[in-house]
Amino acid sequence: NYKDFQAKPYYFGISLGLNQSDFKIYHSQDFIRNDSFSLAQGVTGPGFNLGIVTNLKIGEYFDVRFLPTLSFAERNIKYVPPGEKSLALTRKIESVFVELPFQVRYKSVAYHDFRLFLIAGVKYVFDVASDSRSRQASGLIKISPTDFQFEYGGGIQFFFPYFIFSPEFKVSQGLNNVLIYNEGLEQSTILEKVLSRTFTISLFFEG
């Protein structure tokens, strides 16, 4: 099976995945002076992905991959008042991302009908469900709808007669500060920088 697919210069497929997303929070100098919150932290939320795969083979061991994906995710920021954990406030941010990842994949030597691989790449992300421009959200901390992220991960390819099945895990780390600063909102002023983070497990079907 491996030899049949190895002869193809390119192929296509689909992907299904589950993700866990959160924010990496950096506090500002105003956080030390504020009396309202003793802690601001990112809280992980669940999600899932649906994607299309375009794979171009470059030599024996490398592929270039383009994987436009629709991703549903939930990320939260939790604010804890001093000594009152039960009164914590949570800003829930539910997103629908259009993701455009470009990846390079390095593949090991095949053993019978499977082989290991590593991936690395970058992606552009746009949140079509963002409330960053909504007037109704004027009293809430806002997150930018756009982001650039670096990705890395790995997985295994299994070669069947009619398709390639590949379970894969990857980590996505935001490169941009996605916080939309609001000097009139204390929940915003106590934060200096907010970065996106996502862990994804995907199943690929290609052929």
Q: Rounded to two decimals, what is the model's pTM?
A: 0.88
Looking at the predicted structure, is the pLDDT value of residue 137 above 70? no
Cβ partners under 8 Å of residue 134, min gap 6:
none
Band the pLDDT of 174: cuts 50, 70, 90.
very high
Q: What is the pLDDT of residues 6-58, one digit of tens each?
A: 888 998 999 999 999 999 999 998 888 888 888 889 999 999 999 999 999 99
Band the pLDDT of 203: cuts 50, 70, 90.
very high
Q: What is the pLDDT of residues 102-130, one digit of tens each?
A: 999 999 998 888 999 999 999 999 999 88
Cβ partners under 8 Å of residue 111, min gap 6:
none
For residues 2-20, one letter each, b for 16 or more C-beta atoms within 10 angstroms of the residue's C-beta and e for the rest, the string is beebeeeeebebebebebb
Cβ partners under 8 Å of residue 7, min gap 6:
none
Return the SS3 of 3: helix
